[in-house]
Every structure is written in structure tokens, then in C-alpha cells.
Amino acid sequence: MRGRSSGTGFAGARRGFVGGTRSAVFAPMVKLGLVIVDEEHDSSYKQEETPRYHGRDVAVMRAKLNDAVVVLGSATPSLESWANAEKGRYARVEMRQRVADRPLPAVELVDMREEFRETGQSRSSRAS
């Protein structure tokens, strides 16, 4: 695990920052207050080898066990995170403006059931 801390090491950090790969969630922080998982939807947070775990889920549980705040950041949240926000388990904060006022990308919702009825294909959409 690579990490950086402005404290005196992970366990001794009083007010520092630790950043790293998905395994950084296991860093022995004494006073964990905030966990940020950037691009939480990304499949790279899944550990496929033993022990198998999902870094996002470990971060959520670690924050819960430490009475810390967890921020799951993503422009395209995972279905699990979206569902948890819909059920009120997570609070959703939407950023309606981008850095330097860059325009938001165009989004088109496609009902794949209708696509299948019309084309017999269920793997991709005709939307462009």
C-alpha cells in the first residue's frame, strides 16, 4: 500500500491525510473522521483474489464502525449506491455545476424493455 500522511505515521496521525490505493482503507488510523472513495462505481475497487472484498463496501463499513463520514464520489454512481440513496440509506448531494462552468454531458434514458420489443436485441441501445 502506498500512502502519504502529514501526521507521524498512520496510527499516530492526528490531523493528517492518507491517500492510496483501495487497500489504503485498511490503514490503521486512530481517529478516522472522513473516508472519500473517488469514482466509487469503478470495478477496480473489487479485489478478485483471496481475500475478496469490495473497497467501497469496506470503506462504508469502516466509516460506520468509527462514526466517520464517508463520501462516495461519482458522476455515474453504481446501482448499489443509487439504490441506497433512493432508500434513504445514503444522502445524495448533486453537483449541478462543473469546474470552470464546463457543460454537463448529454444524457438519454433508454427503456431497454422497449428496445428489446422493437429490435429483439437486449445488449445495446440504438440511442446515440
CATH value at residue 38: 3.40.50.300
Residue 110 lies in a domain: no
Give the SS3 label for residue 44. Answer: helix
Residue 75 lies in a domain: yes
> If you average pLDDT over residues 7-15, what whole number do you get?
50
Taking the CA atoms of 20, 25, 30 and 35 in sequence, report the sign of the dihedral they define.
Answer: positive
> If you average pLDDT over residues 92-98, what whole number do you get?
85
Number of structural domains the chain divides into:
1
Residue 28 lies in a domain: yes
Residue 9 lies in a domain: no
**Dist. CA 59–CA 24, nearest whole Å:** 9
pTM summary value: 0.66
**Dist. CA 124–CA 115, nearest whole Å:** 9
> If you average pLDDT over residues 63-70, what whole number do you get?
91
Full domain range(s) for residue 91: 22-98
Residue 124 lies in a domain: no
Set of cell numbers at residue 6: 502529514
Residue 8 lies in a domain: no
